[in-house]
Structures are given as C-alpha cells and as structure tokens.
C-alpha cells in the first residue's frame, strides 16, 4: 500500500501544471501506471487524491451498498462521478483541471498533505486554518486498534 507522508508546497503554472512531490511519486505502484485519481474532498475545500487501488476500494465499498439505493447514488455521485484520472507526465507533473482549482480555491500554489494511502491538496492558508480547527476540537483523542483481523 502507498504511504503518502509529509507536506510539500509546489507552484501551479499558468497551464495548471504542478509537480507531484518526488516522495509521492516514489510511492506509486509501477512505472507504467503513472496515474493518480483525484476528487473534491467531501467535507472540506481540499482535493483528495490516491492511486488506482485505493479508488477501486472506494468503488468496492460503494458497490457493497444495495444496488439502486439512494445511498449508493449519493456516494457514487459525490466520489466516482467527480473523480478524475490524472496522468503524470515525464517530468513528474499533473495537470489540475480548472474546475478543481476553483473548488479548492487554488491560485498559484498547491500544498500537498500526506495522509497514508491518500493525500490532500490544499490552498496553503486554508490548510493552516483547518489544521488549527481540528487540533482545537479533537486534541487528546486516542486512536482505536483494529478490531477485526486484517485479511
């Protein structure tokens, strides 16, 4: 499984190109699968990105819901319908669709924030504020162990 960690602030050029941090690139599966998947995060202004395996897991979770149910429709429209496949060019860059840049209020700079199997792309100041908020709200929490055996 990919492990995206750390934060990196990179420039977005006028064509919407940004270098994917080298650390992150190194975590991606194989050389021939030079793609990532990205979609607007459900409850923040950030963008969420992951590799194909992780997106397939999302699709599987959604598919495990009842077929033709409203829940299925919701997650499908919010995640799968919004997701884009982004190619990584020979120089390690991706092109952010304009729509996504607006959604995340990105202009000129992108902050990559590692989150294990996924990572987020934030407008730098927005992340600072978000980080401060969750820090305030949840400081002191403990993390539950896994209760079921990992298959």
Partner DNA sequence: TTTTATCCCATGATATTCCATGAAATCCCA
Partner DNA sequence: TGGGATTTCATGGAATATCATGGGATAAAA
10 binds DNA (CB under 7 A): yes
CA-closest candidate to residue 87, choices 40, 145, 33, 15: 33
Identify which of 126, 89, 133, 91 has the alpha carbon closest to the alpha carbon of residue 106: 126
Q: Are 77 and 69 in contact (CB under 8 A)?
A: no
| Exposure string over 48-75, b if 16+ CB within 10 A, otherwise e | bbbbeebbeebeeebeeeeeeeeeeeeb
Q: Tell whether residue 58 is a contact of DNA (CB under 7 A).
A: no
123 part of the interface to DNA, by CB under 7 A: no
Interaction between residue 101 and DNA (CB under 7 A): no
120 binds DNA (CB under 7 A): no
Q: Is 89 in the site for DNA (CB under 7 A)?
A: yes
Nearer to DNA, 23 or 72 (CB): 23
Q: Which residues bind its own copies (CB under 8 A)?
A: 1, 3-7, 23, 37, 41-43, 52, 55-65, 67-68, 70-71, 73-85, 113-117, 130-131, 134-135, 137-138, 140-141, 143-151
* Chain residues in the site for DNA (CB under 7 A): 8, 10-11, 13-15, 18-23, 25-26, 87, 89-93, 95
């Amino acid at each position: 499984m990919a492990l995206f960690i750390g934060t990196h602030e990179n420039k977005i050029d006028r064509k919407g190109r940004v270098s994917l941090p080298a650390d992150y690139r190194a975590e991606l599966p194989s050389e021939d699968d030079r793609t990532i998947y990205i979609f607007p995060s459900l409850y923040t202004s950030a963008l969420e990105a992951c590799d194909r395996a992780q997106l397939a897991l999302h699709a599987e979770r959604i598919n495990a819901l009842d077929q033709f149910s409203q829940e299925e429709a919701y997650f499908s429209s919010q995640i799968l319908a919004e997701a884009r496949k982004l190619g990584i060019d020979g120089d390690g860059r991706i092109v952010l669709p304009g729509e996504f840049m607006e959604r995340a209020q990105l202009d000129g700079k992108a902050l990559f924030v590692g989150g294990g199997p996924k990572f987020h792309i934030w407008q730098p100041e927005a992340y600072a504020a978000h980080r401060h908020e969750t820090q305030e709200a949840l400081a002191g929490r403990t993390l539950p162990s896994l209760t079921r055996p990992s298959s």
